[in-house]
Amino acid sequence: MRRAATIVSAAVVSAGLVLAGCGSGDGAGTGGDDGPVTLTFQSLAFQPESIAANQQIIEQWNADNPDIQVEYLQGDWASVQDQLVTAFEGGTAPDLVHYESSYLQDFADRGWILDITDLVPEAMTDDILDGAWEAVTFDDAVYAVPFLLDAQVIFANKALLDAAGVEVPAPDDPWSWDEFAEVSKQLTDADTFGVAWTLKDPANRMLNLALNFGGGFFEESDGASSAIFGDPEKEAFQRIYDQLYVDKSAATDAIGMGGSDPLPGFFAGQYAMLPKGIWFRQQIIDQAPEGFEWVTIPALAGDSQAQAAAPQTVSVAAESEHPEEAMAFLEYMLNPENQALLAKGDWMIPASSAAAEDPVLTETPDWPVAAASGTFLEQAPFQRVRGYEEWKNKVANPSIEEFFANAISLDELGTRLTEDGNEILERYNR
């Protein structure tokens, strides 16, 4: 009896001790009236170099600014949406939020992020590319500072190009889509497909590529957006479809792939070319077998090389008690020198034009192609559409995947994108 009582008592006492020892994060947040201001900055940096660059910038700032201290919080891309929505709703959002431009309009409509138009210093306005600013400006209000950009380019197996006698085009003389289709056919043989289009969750990418032919996908009338699917929108779809099922120069087994999935086939010579974002250079460098040679081919030209600027951004939370201090930190964090460091860490293009000249970046592989890509990024119509994310996730992604799996026709795809899609948009237009 005594032994049992001892065991139960010990268990209860242990629980009490453990509970008493449980940590709390109450130390975070803004300082008191007399202490320094403490800002929280949630970063989505993923690559170790990028995380290190963020932390280095913050450490330097904290050392130089004892009155405004910044606390680094590490977020993650996989769950940031759920986490931010709850934090904004519950009033516990970080002062500074790293995310991407496509979510800003929704966040602004809900009153979660601050209009920083009057807080952005002139030097920063001048330094950052116009296309990047356009992507974060809604109804003439700026809701974030853009800092990292991506662009679609094509990576190629150099040995296969050399064997076929294919010359790599210069950034100022890119291949047209017709030339690309010809080269793909030329590179295709019994062992190799000319190209591997990885089309998992393909809506953003296809809407981007459609801009090459002037395809905007949305039109606006009396402030209401609706989806359209005419000849300019169809062009890129038809060309990729033809590569897959008519020329058979594109690998059908790659269309369900995403992320790093196609790399084994690319390294093994099964795919000669791999259209991907410019950041993918890092993945290739990290995983390429010894001796594997690759090159970056500039973005294709249709009627233009236009692509959507969908920058990564930093916003100030509307609930932040210290917006001026937050903006002062942003001005430092996203100055050209630091943007170069951050862009190098994530292998992306800085939104700062001065940062793009920094040797930190110009010495990375195929930088001229990356730098040239930054110049044709612009705001796309879909970036201004309220309800775009729902349209994309519920209608566009699954329907486009079905189209490229040859399960539905191009006309059926158009019907779904417009008729089913507009039912969603109507709710947002009311």
Partner 1 sequence: MRGFRTLATPAKYLALVAYLVFLAFPLLWLISTAFKPPQEMALIDPTIIPADPTLDNFRLAFEQQPLARALLNTLVIAGTSALVTVLLSIPAAYVMARYRSVVSRMTALWVLLSQMFPFILVIIPLFLLLRDAGLYDTQLGLIIVYVVWSMPFALWMLRSYVVGIPVELEEAAAMDGAGKLRTLKDIVAPLLVPGVVAAALFAFVSAWNEFLFALVLLRTPELQTISLTLVKFIGAEGVARLGPLAAAALVATIPSLVFFAIIQRRLVGGMLGGAVKS
Q: Are 180 and 300 within 8 A, CB to CB? A: yes
DSSP letters spanning 43-80: E---SHHHHHHHHHHHHHHHHH-TTEEEEEEE--TTTH
Q: Is 236 helix (H, G, I), strand (E, B) or coil?
A: helix
> Given the rule CB under 8 A, which residues bind partner 1?
1, 4, 11-12, 14-15, 18-19, 21-28, 44, 46-48, 51, 72-74, 76-79, 82-83, 86-87, 89-92, 94, 200, 258-260, 263-265, 267-268, 270, 277, 283, 286-290
Task: Output the smallest distance, CB 3 to partner 1, in A.
Answer: 10
Task: Output the smallest distance, CB 22 to partner 1, in A.
Answer: 4
CB of 26 or CB of 172, closer to partner 1: 26
* Structure-token match 């606390």, residue found: 71
For residue 393, the 8-state DSSP code is: I
Q: Are 70 and 62 within 8 A, CB to CB? A: yes
Task: Output the smallest distance, CB 260 to partner 1, in A.
Answer: 6
Which backbone phi and psi does 172 adopt, to 5 degrees? -90, 5
CB of 225 or CB of 315, closer to partner 1: 315
Give the Å distances, CA to CA, from 345 to 71, 147, 360. 20, 13, 10
By the 10 Å C-beta count (0-12 exposed, 13-18 middle, 19+ buried), 286 is classed as: exposed
Task: Output the smallest distance, CB 328 to partner 1, in A.
Answer: 23
CB of 29 or CB of 230, closer to partner 1: 29
Task: Output the smallest distance, CB 98 to partner 1, in A.
Answer: 11
Q: Is 293 helix (H, G, I), strand (E, B) or coil?
A: coil
Task: Output the smallest distance, CB 5 to partner 1, in A.
Answer: 9
Task: Output the smallest distance, CB 173 to partner 1, in A.
Answer: 29
By the 10 Å C-beta count (0-12 exposed, 13-18 middle, 19+ buried), 194 is classed as: buried
Q: How far apart are CA 44 and CA 27, in angstroms?
A: 22
CB of 267 or CB of 428, closer to partner 1: 267
CB of 99 or CB of 143, closer to partner 1: 99
Q: Are 212 and 407 within 8 A, CB to CB? A: no
Q: How far apart are CA 46 and CA 383, in angstroms?
A: 24
CB of 17 or CB of 405, closer to partner 1: 17
Task: Output the smallest distance, CB 119 to partner 1, in A.
Answer: 25
CB of 22 or CB of 190, closer to partner 1: 22
Q: Strand ranges (DSSP E) for 363-419?
A: 377-378
CB of 77 or CB of 245, closer to partner 1: 77
* Structure-token match 């950052």, residue found: 128
CB of 78 or CB of 123, closer to partner 1: 78
Task: Output the smallest distance, CB 353 to partner 1, in A.
Answer: 24
Apex 403 CA angle, 202 and 274, nearest 5 = 45
158-174 per-residue burial string, b: 16 or more CB within 10 A, e: under 16: eebbeeeebeebebeeb
